[in-house]
Chain A
Amino acid sequence: MDDLITYGPNLAEGFLNNVKLSLVAAVASLILGTILVAMRVSPTPVLRAAGTVYVNVVRNTPLTLVLAFSALGLSDQLGLVFSETPRTNSFWIVAMGLSAYTAAFVCEALRAGINTVPLGQAEAARAIGLTFMQSLRMIILPQAFRTVVAPLGSVMIAMIKNTTVATAGGFVADSAAEMKEAFDTTGASIPIFLGIVVGFMVLTMPIGFFTGWLSRRLAVAR
């Protein structure tokens, strides 16, 4: 227990960095994922193909590789620099890699949601004379969004847990790195480990419960 108290401030700071990374990556990956899904369902074959290639390549690449490549390849070798301070720079490099990775999963979750809307809904909308924009806005998207809530929640939970891989992108100030540093002096300390694990549970469990509750509340009866 003493270990946890001694290293508490460092661990808390590291954990805060995980939270910050999660927030940035959540916003960026949702935006990028929405753009990707728009490409994947667009009537333009080229954009569709580009979206498909991106999603399939990124989804099948380990996150560790994405982050290591962002740091060692893009930043060190190709000179992509967000900030002069190394720590700030690696934060944004990791945020970028994590968002690019998560966006592929966001895209798949959204696309699966659109696919659950039965074709008959769109046909009925056209039959009663709704325009394309009207049928999209009033019939299709509202149904698609509802089915997407729970899967998106899962993607976000996975993303929050993935922020611990930041070490691979050279950002050694997150809770995994702080835990490793503490372990270097104390050895494997169960209180420290449990402390961080509980921190992550506090972060992820409400998201799981909330999105689960929301998706049940919003469920479309078919």
Chain B
Amino acid sequence: MSASVLFDAPGPRGRLRNHALTVIGVLLVAAVLYGIYTGFDAKGQWEGKIWQPFLEWHTWELYIIPGLIGTLEAAAVAAVLALVFGAVFGLARLSDHAWVRIPAGAVVEVFRSIPLLLLIFFIFYLAPMLMGGGDYAFMAVVLGLMLYNGSVLAEVVRAGVLSVAKGQSEAAYAVGMRKNQVMRLVLLPQAVTAMMPAIVSQLVVLLKDTALGYIIAYVDLLNTGFKILPAVFFGSLIPAAIVIGIIYVALNMALSYFATWLEGRSRRSRKTAAAPVAPPNAAGVAAGLGAKGGGVPPDSGAD
């Protein structure tokens, strides 16, 4: 509880002040909510007519669920590719050979620092030049997400392997294991436990960023909500936005709680000699160059 660092247990006067603050707080929150309510009301956004479509299975079946599938599909493919990319480049950065280590490091640093949308645009325009006409929206989203999130995951993998106590690899070498065996049998199994929470937090970022596909007209949940549904049901933009907003928040919160739970588990775990890796700064579309070890400390996954 952060409150306990900042505040003493209140005395009688303090309690009185806190009660007064509570009343003011309730009034403020109520005022804001009422302001939103009347603002919507003035523009007729609470009319049953425009909310009606969202109560019908038909709307979900034809529009929302296909959009959701579009989002999940892009996220799933990108997640698998990003994990592979991250594992390969993360381990390559740990290589003993400079000719592997340095190029891998350069690739990771560059892709981590490019704004993701620019990367997606570039792939979107590059693909038709290389492969002829066609719809490359899906490919652009997936490859962009793979390169960016893969680079962040590469750092997670590297941090995970480095976080295993040195004695572990020394002991493994001492019993005569080869480099490959040390990595495969001793370091990685322990590192994976430590990395899991950070990986899942990064997957939340990846899932959120699939929404960038909206800008290049990939048919995902966001596109369904802002372009397709308002076109079909006139005037229903705000209800559609609220409904898909709730779906996004629910999906991401579920994943975030899963990450927090995993983290608690790996913190208690006795299977590994490594402390959990801090999530690589969950600040949305992009963590930055400075994120190295500077990510928000692990307790910020959820409240």
**Residues of A with Cβ closer than 8 Å to B?**
40-48, 50, 52, 55-57, 59-65, 68-69, 72-73, 77-79, 101-102, 105, 108-109, 111-112, 114-119, 121-122, 126, 132, 136, 140, 150-151, 153-162, 164-165, 167-168, 175-176, 179-180, 183, 187-188, 193, 196-197, 200-201, 204-205, 207-209, 211-212, 215
What range describes how many residues of B lie at the interface? Answer: 35 or more
Chain A contact residues: over half helix, strand or loop, or mixed? helix
CB distance B122 to A193 under 8 Å?
A: yes
> Within the assembled complex, what's the spacing in Å between the Cα atoms of A119 and B5?
5
Is B66 interfacial (CB-CB < 8 Å)?
no
Q: Tell which of A79, A115, A196 touches B118, judged by Cβ atoms closer than 8 Å.
A: A196
**Which of chain B's residues 258-303 have a Cβ closer than 8 Å to chain A?**
281-297, 299-300, 302-303
- The interface residues of chain A lying within 8 Å CB-to-CB of B286 are 157-158, 161-162
B251–chain A nearest beta-carbon distance, Å: 8
Is B180 interfacial (CB-CB < 8 Å)?
no
Also in contact, A205 and B289, with CB within 8 A (given A154-B281, A159-B283, A193-B118): yes
CB distance B282 to A68 under 8 Å?
A: no
Also in contact, A140 and B5, with CB within 8 A (given A73-B238, A168-B215): yes
CB distance A44 to B237 under 8 Å?
A: no
CB distance B2 to A114 under 8 Å?
A: yes
Closest chain A residue to B110, Cβ basis: A197
> Within the assembled complex, what's the spacing in Å between the Cα atoms of A24 and B280?
25
CB distance B282 to A52 under 8 Å?
A: no
Known interface pairs A43-B7, A162-B115; 11 further A-B residue pairs with C-beta atoms within 8 A, sorted by A's residue number: A47-B28, A62-B209, A73-B238, A114-B5, A114-B6, A121-B5, A122-B4, A164-B116, A164-B117, A180-B121, A187-B125
- The interface residues of chain A lying within 8 Å CB-to-CB of B10 are 43
Also in contact, A77 and B237, with CB within 8 A (given A64-B215, A157-B291, A167-B215): yes
CB distance B289 to A56 under 8 Å?
A: no
CB distance B25 to A78 under 8 Å?
A: no
CB distance A77 to B43 under 8 Å?
A: yes
Chain B contact residues: over half helix, strand or loop, or mixed? helix
CB distance B290 to A162 under 8 Å?
A: no
- The interface residues of chain A lying within 8 Å CB-to-CB of B222 are 62, 64-65, 68
Q: Tell which of A68, A117, A176 touches B226, judged by Cβ atoms closer than 8 Å.
A: A68
Give 6 closest A-B pairs by Cβ, nearest first: A157-B288, A208-B290, A62-B211, A150-B294, A60-B252, A158-B283
> Within the assembled complex, what's the spacing in Å between the Cα atoms of A55 and B225?
23
| A40, A136, A153, A158, most chain B CB atoms within 10 A | A158
CB distance B129 to A201 under 8 Å?
A: no
> Within the assembled complex, what's the spacing in Å between the Cα atoms of A215 and B125?
40
**Which of chain B's residues 218-250 have a Cβ closer than 8 Å to chain A?**
222, 225-226, 237-238, 241, 244-245, 248-249
Is B26 interfacial (CB-CB < 8 Å)?
yes
**Residues of B with Cβ closer than 8 Å to A?**
2-8, 10, 14, 18, 21-22, 25-26, 28-29, 39-40, 43, 45, 113-118, 121-122, 125-126, 128-129, 204, 208-212, 214-215, 222, 225-226, 237-238, 241, 244-245, 248-249, 252-253, 256, 281-297, 299-300, 302-303
CB distance A111 to B300 under 8 Å?
A: yes
A-B contact pairs, 16 of them (CB 8 A): A41-B3, A46-B25, A60-B252, A63-B284, A64-B215, A72-B237, A72-B241, A73-B237, A102-B283, A112-B296, A140-B6, A151-B296, A157-B290, A158-B283, A158-B285, A159-B283
Also in contact, A176 and B117, with CB within 8 A (given A105-B284, A208-B289): yes
> Within the assembled complex, what's the spacing in Å between the Cα atoms of A60 and B245?
9
Q: Tell which of B121, B208, B252, B290 touches A153, judged by Cβ atoms closer than 8 Å.
A: B290
CB distance A64 to B283 under 8 Å?
A: no
> Within the assembled complex, what's the spacing in Å between the Cα atoms of A175 and B289?
20
Closest chain B residue to A51, Cβ basis: B303
CB distance A119 to B22 under 8 Å?
A: no
CB distance B2 to A60 under 8 Å?
A: no
- The interface residues of chain A lying within 8 Å CB-to-CB of B299 are 112, 115
> Within the assembled complex, what's the spacing in Å between the Cα atoms of A102 and B229?
28
> Within the assembled complex, what's the spacing in Å between the Cα atoms of A26 and B303?
25
